[in-house]
Chains A and B, each alone.
Chain A
Amino acid sequence: MKSEAVKQEMFAALRGLLQGRAAGVNRQTASGKLPDDAGAHPDSGELAAFFYGKAKTAGVAAHVAACRSCADELALYVEAERAARRRRPTGAHVAAEKIPAAAWRLIAEWEESDFAKPKALDKTTSREVLDKLARLVLRRQAANRQPSRHAVSSPQANRVPVLVVNRQGELRGVELFERATNRRGDLTLVHAEKSSRFDDVELHAVTHPPKLGDRKSYDIESFRVHHGRVRVGKRADDSLTADDTEFFIIEE
């Protein structure tokens, strides 16, 4: 049974360790060696999610325990909640300051920008645009093709890269989807990160019909993503599972 003195000594040592860690974090923050955008500090969204208990954030918890500035920022959420509880809205009209013109300008700029406009459904994307993008995607993939990309023995064999492009054909990124088969036997692609970013967006598959034997000919089929999944359906010729099927998503 450890004596009380040993326990006290142990706790003091633990505390010293924590203090050393905190000193390092705070010193780096103060000197700018741990800038906010380095990903070392949780961003305000992560901090808010941590405070409101909306996210499992062991890393954030550890960081806030050591970082003075993040703990102070978290206290701002406490203060804000306290203020939010202080007065309840009533039904009567409350005389209040008008919304500043500058705020309305920000709103107007946003409403007039593309971000505010609802994305056009992909089924309204013209065939011309799809064709142009399909050709770009095929050219790009042909240039980047690696023979082992879909090798059966590779642990990534089940993963399908999907190009994300804008309407001008500029590459925005590559997202990984995983091939799966649902209970009905339908081929499904599931976003590897389970993100909802592409929900209700169309995923386009560019296939080379084998019967034509002409690499310049291709078909485009479009499918809609729901909850990070897209059912591409059963195919008798399995052309959608062929290694040279290219997938892309249009995102502005």
Chain B
Amino acid sequence: MANDSAIAASRSGQGTGQSLDALSDEELVDRFLANLSADQTEAHRCFELVLARYQWLIAHIVRSSRYRFPAWDSAEDVINRAIFKVYRGLAQWRREGKLSSFIARIATSEMIDTIRRVRRDKSWNPRMVELGEADSDMPSAVERAPSREPSPEAQLLNRQKTELVDELLESVCRDWKDSVIVNDYIINNVGAREIVEKYEMSEDVVYQRARRLKVRLMKWAAERGIDSAQTLLGVGIKKKK
């Protein structure tokens, strides 16, 4: 809801940059929204102040990313689009969290969309550059590997296995932390410390969740009558009771 006293102060000519500065994020956004149709100049002033508070955040998110942006879609372009999307999206801010978090989410989503769009252009590889790694545009071994299409029977078996594994993953992963621990710790043998750094979890949480995930994985198998590695690997998977 708009802050009536702030609006009144502004309309009476008493409103200055200083009075806007004194508004909280919520009040500032309310004022921005209230003036979008009625007084665009005022709305733009409010938006400028929102960005004065958070443009650094958008720039930081985009520029500190290790993804490479091509010349035709630079970090500056991404920042501009993110700013536009903040402008457009402020009406959707539900005040459930901080405005900084809301803006961070928009900027990150814009960055991800850009990375994916650029990736679809096969002439550009926006893969992350590891610190110290030589920046190479050469295709990786995976990309160079020749395609070997399996037989229809093998494809069917693969599909069944895929569905089984997807069911398993849906069953054991309760939230994003579970998913990334399965991915990094269980599947890819990434060390706990690296996970802590990347996903901002404590080491205790990583180990605890990894233990719980292991229990859930085993329980999933037991519920399906899979009592040995041989059974699991296809000798005879019993139907879930």
Chain A residues proximal to chain B, CB less than 8 Å: 2, 6-7, 9-15, 17-22, 24, 26-27, 30-32, 35-37, 41, 43-45, 47-48, 50-53, 58-59, 61-62, 64-68, 71-85, 87-89, 91-100, 102-103, 106-107, 110-111, 118
The 3 tightest CB contacts between A and B, nearest first, are A62-B169, A13-B229, A106-B84
Across the interface, name the chain A residue whose C-beta is closest to B18.
A93
Considering the complex, give the chain B residue whose CB is closest to the CB of A94.
B52
Query: In the complex, how many angstroms separate the beta carbon of B77 from the nearest chain A beta carbon?
Result: 8
A58 proximity list for chain B (CB < 8 A): 170, 173
Check B187 against A66 for contact (C-beta < 8 Å).
yes
Known pairs A44-B108, A61-B175, A88-B100 / 8 extra A-B pairs, C-beta < 8 Å: A44-B112, A51-B176, A65-B179, A73-B112, A81-B101, A81-B104, A89-B100, A102-B76
B76 touches A74 (CB 8 A): no
Q: Determine the residue in chain B with the shortest Cβ distance to A77.
A: B108
Chain A residue with Cβ nearest B56 = A96
Residues in A neighbouring B119, C-beta threshold 8 A: 36
Q: How large is the interface on B (under 10, 10 to 19, 20 to 34, 35 or more residues)?
A: 35 or more
Nearest chain A residue, comparing its CB with the CB of B183: A71
Which of B37, B56, B80, B173 lies in contact with A62, CB distance below 8 A?
B173
Task: Check if B180 sits within 8 Å of A75, measured CB to CB.
Answer: yes
Cross-interface CB contact of B165 among A2, A18, A26, cutoff 8 Å: A18
Provide 19 A-B residue pairs closer than 8 Å at the C-beta atoms, listed in order of the A residue. A13-B233, A18-B187, A21-B162, A26-B142, A61-B173, A61-B175, A64-B173, A65-B169, A74-B179, A78-B198, A78-B200, A81-B200, A84-B104, A89-B53, A92-B21, A93-B52, A102-B77, A106-B81, A106-B84
- Flag if A36 contacts B116 (CB, 8 Å): yes
A14 and B183 in contact (CB under 8 A), knowing A61-B170, A77-B105, A110-B88?
no
On whether the beta carbons of A50 and B176 are closer than 8 Å, the reply is yes
Asked whether, in the complex, the Cβ of B161 is within 8 Å of the Cβ of A74, the reply is: no
Tell me, in angstroms, the Cα distance from A35 to B8 when the chains sit together.
Answer: 52
- Closest chain-B Cβ to A133's Cβ sits at a distance in Å of 28
Contact present for A61 and B52 (CB under 8 Å): no
